[in-house]
Chains A and B, each alone.
Chain A
Amino acid sequence: MNDTPYGKIIADGLWYNNAALVQLLGLCPLLAISGTVVNALGLGLATTLTLIASNVSVSFIRNWVRPEIRIPIYVLIIASVVTAIELAMNAYFHELYLVLGIFIPLIVTNCAIIGRAEAFASKHTIPKAFVDGLIMGIGFTLVLVALGGMREVIGQGTLFDQAHLMFGEAARGLTVTLIEDYRGFLLAILPPGAFIGLGLLLAIKNLVDDQLEKRATRRAEALREAQA
């Protein structure tokens, strides 16, 4: 059995092996639902919940499932979890559920979830699978929210528009209008905006990685010189 330390699980999930930015999994909901921050947050949280539940269940039964039939079992587990979450959202966040529409049931096809079940949860203990699901979900949600924020600000000049869908009527005041009298930039809200935005986020991530690597090599060289 692999034994991954918690620190590595967290660093991987948030950055080095981020579901959206590195594995490039789950792009369909990522691109379709990132029009506003609230939509992005809703879908991100639903995905996170699914990841946690499916990771824990898969990890729980990992010693009893024969490898030949593991994939159908994972699919069954994920489908049941998603159905439960869909019903719950329909009950408690009905308006948000209507906005997100088909993308809630489609979480079941999000490759990131079966990917984590296969690559991580089936080989690790329950607590680690739980943490991995949580962190992977948060990493995915963060990218989703970043993209949603980008598209919402550029596209309609607001942030947290329609926050009441998620946090109740009291949250209507959360909506921030950053640019008064903004004419809107439709391209950012339309699908091309999602692709361009994701491309830019990927570029930023690679840029940061490059800088980190350069700094690390420089530090290593300095250390070697100091030792010599």
Chain B
Amino acid sequence: MRFKTFSSPHMAPARSVNRVMGQVLLALIPGTAAMTWYFGWGVLINVSLAVTVALACEALMLLMRGRTLTPHITDLSAVLAGWLFALAVPPLTPWWVTLVGVGFAMVMAKHLYGGLGYNPFNPAMVGYVVVLISFPREMTLWLSPSVIAELNLSLPQTFTAIFAGTLPDGLTWDTITAATPLDRIQTGVGQAHPISEIQASPFFGYLGGVGWEWIGLWFLVGGLWLLKRGVIGWQIPAAMLGTLTLLSGLFWLINPETYASPLFHVFSGAAILGAFFIATDPVSASTTPRGRLIFGAGVGALVFVIRTWGSYAEGVAFAVLLMNMMVPLIDHYTQPRVFGKTTAGKEG
């Protein structure tokens, strides 16, 4: 039997930007679908609105910068940024919040730094943090999955809620919105309630909050598919979730009544979404293999610190942005050894 032999170099086909982005978008679909299942049509409306705004801002900035539209706007990076932003904000976020957040993300965080490949910060997270800081009230309008399932807001009703800010008769914002599980833990622990008592409320499921745990699981499925396809490296998600588990586990072992369990930490909020989809942004994350481990570990540790001792209940966005700032330093100290040279860069 003869094997066909080829001469070196054996080069893998280059991955184009829009292929990578397209696969990431595909991987987001199961999680987004789960989120729509639990939180209603608002999620889909937000995604379409955010993607539209992102594409419009991208086109506008490309025109202003004198670039051609076609290769840049079809690379799907704007679509991904808008989509991630929409997943981060509450399902009935007013339209103008999305407009401000996505606009800021695309114009200030992406194009003013030079566009795709030059932005030091993850644009979607910059946009989210801007609205989180600027519109604290709107950003707390998370819905309770159980109430939403009962109400079953129709598509037009959700539409008016987002665009006109009015709810169907007989409903008020106070009755349909509810604190997220992370918020509940934070306020509860702040008032010295034991965690077991807080988690006895019907908002909590087996792993995280009701609904949230399934959303997390479906994002995990999408993320694992991305890993298998080789679109993202294993280092950042593994380091981030590992550090989060390790730290929260350590504190949980010390006192399970004031520190939530590691499973709860991983399966609530945006931990999984952040680990696989946000922190792995190829532009703003670290690029060296060892650097990615440090970067992921830093994000995980910061998420735990912010959730446990910070004034915000969820810290993925802040953690990612803070670690984005460290990337040049991390990359500088983790340069891999070049073949034929010593680690110090001398001829070996």
A residues touching B (Cβ–Cβ < 8 Å)? 183-188, 190, 192, 196
Q: How far is the CB of A152 from chain B (nearest CB, A)?
A: 15
Answer whether residue B251 sits at the interface, using C-beta atoms and an 8 A cutoff: no
Count chain A CB atoms within 10 A of each CB in B130, B134, B135, B136 and give the residue with the most: B134
B residues touching A (Cβ–Cβ < 8 Å)? 100, 108, 130, 133-136
Q: How far is the CB of A70 from chain B (nearest CB, A)?
A: 40
Q: Give the complex CA separation of A187 and B128 in angstroms.
A: 12
**Cβ of A187 and Cβ of B108 under 8 Å apart?**
no
Chain A residue with the shortest CB-CB distance to B108? A196
**Cβ of B136 and Cβ of A186 under 8 Å apart?**
yes
**Cβ of A186 and Cβ of B108 under 8 Å apart?**
no
Total residue contacts A-B, CB cutoff 8 A = 16
Chain B residue with the shortest CB-CB distance to A190? B133
Task: Select one of A186, A188, A192 contacting B135, CB under 8 A.
Answer: A186
Residues of A contacting B: mostly: helix
Chain A residue with the shortest CB-CB distance to B104? A187
Q: Give the complex CA separation of A187 and B130 in angstroms.
A: 7
Q: Give the complex CA separation of A184 and B134 in angstroms.
A: 8
Instruction: List the 7 shortest-distance A-B pairs measured between CB atoms, nearest first.
Output: A187-B134, A186-B134, A185-B134, A187-B130, A187-B133, A186-B133, A190-B133
Q: Give the complex CA separation of A221 and B134 in angstroms.
A: 50
Q: Give the complex CA separation of A184 and B133 in angstroms.
A: 11
Q: Give the complex CA separation of A196 and B108 in angstroms.
A: 9
Q: How far is the CB of B109 from chain A (nearest CB, A)?
A: 11
Q: Can you give 16 A-B contacts (C-beta < 8 A)? A: A183-B135, A184-B134, A185-B100, A185-B134, A185-B135, A186-B133, A186-B134, A186-B135, A186-B136, A187-B130, A187-B133, A187-B134, A188-B134, A190-B133, A192-B133, A196-B108
A184 partner residues in chain B, CB cutoff 8 A: 134
A188 partner residues in chain B, CB cutoff 8 A: 134
Q: How far is the CB of B135 from chain A (nearest CB, A)?
A: 7
Q: Give the complex CA separation of A182 and B132 in angstroms.
A: 17
Q: How far is the CB of A218 from chain B (nearest CB, A)?
A: 19
Q: How far is the CB of A102 from chain B (nearest CB, A)?
A: 24
Q: Give the complex CA separation of A186 and B136 in angstroms.
A: 9
Q: Give the complex CA separation of A185 and B138 in angstroms.
A: 12
Q: Give the complex CA separation of A190 and B108 in angstroms.
A: 17
Q: How far is the CB of B230 from chain A (nearest CB, A)?
A: 37
B134 partner residues in chain A, CB cutoff 8 A: 184-188
Q: Give the complex CA separation of A5 and B202 in angstroms.
A: 79
Q: Give the complex CA separation of A196 and B134 in angstroms.
A: 14
B133 partner residues in chain A, CB cutoff 8 A: 186-187, 190, 192
Q: Give the complex CA separation of A131 and B174 in angstroms.
A: 61
Q: How far is the CB of A45 from chain B (nearest CB, A)?
A: 30
Q: Give the complex CA separation of A159 and B292 in angstroms.
A: 47
B130 partner residues in chain A, CB cutoff 8 A: 187
Q: How far is the CB of B325 from chain A (nearest CB, A)?
A: 13
Chain B residue with the shortest CB-CB distance to A189? B134
Q: How far is the CB of B312 from chain A (nearest CB, A)?
A: 14
Q: How far is the CB of A117 from chain B (nearest CB, A)?
A: 36
Q: How far is the CB of A88 from chain B (nearest CB, A)?
A: 37
Q: Give the complex CA separation of A186 and B131 in angstroms.
A: 9
Q: Give the complex CA separation of A43 and B108 in angstroms.
A: 29
Interface contacts beyond A185-B134, A192-B133: sample of 14 additional A-B pairs, CB < 8 Å, sorted by A: A183-B135, A184-B134, A185-B100, A185-B135, A186-B133, A186-B134, A186-B135, A186-B136, A187-B130, A187-B133, A187-B134, A188-B134, A190-B133, A196-B108
